[in-house]
Amino acid sequence: MHYSGELHILQHPLEQNHSKNTARLVKQLLPQTIIWPGESESDFAYLKAKIAQEPQAWGCIYPAHDSAIQTGTNPPLPTTRLLFIDATWRKARKIWHLNPWLHSMPCYRLSNISDAQYRIRKNHADHQLSTLEAVACSLSSCTDVTPLLDLLHRFQLHFENIQPRHN
pLDDT digits (tens, 9 = 90+) for 106-126: 999 887 666 545 555 555 544
Could you tell me if residue 142 is inside a domain?
yes
Rounded to an integer, the average pLDDT of 84-105 is 94
Q: Quick: pLDDT tens for 23-55.
A: 999 999 999 999 999 999 999 999 999 999 998
pLDDT at 92: 93
Q: Is residue 103 part of a domain?
A: yes
In a domain, 167, yes or no: no
In a domain, 135, yes or no: yes
Q: What is the reported pLDDT for 114?
A: 61
pLDDT of residue 143 exceeding 60, the answer is yes
- Number of structural domains in the chain: 1
60 domain residue, yes or no: yes
The verdict on residue 99 lying in a domain is yes
Query: Does the residue 1 lie in any domain?
Result: no
- Position 94 pLDDT exceeds 90: yes
pLDDT at site 167: 43
pLDDT at 163: 63
Give the pLDDT confidence of 50-85 residue by residue, as tens digits: 999 998 899 999 988 888 888 877 788 888 899 999
pTM of the model: 0.85
Domain membership flag for residue 109? yes
Q: At 82, phi and psi to the nearest 5?
A: -95, 140
Name the band, by pLDDT with cuts 50, 70 and 90, for residue 95. very high
Q: Tell me which of 24-28, 88-92, 111-115, 149-153 is least confident.
A: 111-115
The confidence score (pLDDT) of residue 164 equals: 58
Domain of 156?
7-162
